[in-house]
Amino acid sequence: MGVQEGLKIRRMKVGDYEVVSKIEKEIFSCPWSERDIKRILTSDRFAFPLVAEVSGEIVGYIFAWVIYDEVHIGNFAVREDFRRKKVGTKLLDYLICEASRRGGKFFYLEVRKSNEPAINLYKKFGFTPIGVRKKYYSDNEEDAIVMGKSLDGVLHQDI
């Protein structure tokens, strides 16, 4: 059975925070703390975090916030050993579908200027660069490209 057949996307639960935090620390140079992840899962009413599981094991996740018609995508990660197996594609597709069912029309995110694989994935989903946040990342002061996608073809420019 391949990854696709065993892949399940579901809403992140409070009990997932330790595994998600472990992946976060492995992937990001400035990871979110366990405390922050737990707070998002327990008290952020706009949060819409998802995990990807293969055979019951969390292999990726995406944090997003659905605030009325806007969706902000935060940290999005897939374990190194599950990359290039469509896990990220499935997570992002599921998020867009479910967030739009909840009223989301405008999707925004920041991505490191040097993260070409992520930028290419977002472009495949119709995201376009709409701005730059100078020195956004605190570890190396790298710029972030702000990307957006609108389900109705019009993006807000006042982000």
DSSP 33: P
Please give the Cα distance from 19 to 34 (Å, whole number): 10
Is the separation of the CB atoms in 28 and 77 below 8 Å?
A: yes
Q: Is 110 a catalytic residue?
A: yes
Q: Is 94 a catalytic residue?
A: no
Please give the Cα distance from 14 to 154 (Å, whole number): 35
Please give the Cα distance from 105 to 150 (Å, whole number): 6
Q: What's the full length of the chain, in residues? A: 159
DSSP 41: H
Point out the catalytic residue in the list 110, 116, 136, 141.
110
For β-strands 106-112 and 70-78, DSSP reports them as parallel
Point out the catalytic residue in the list 122, 137, 141, 142.
122
Question: Which residues are catalytically annotated?
Answer: 110, 122
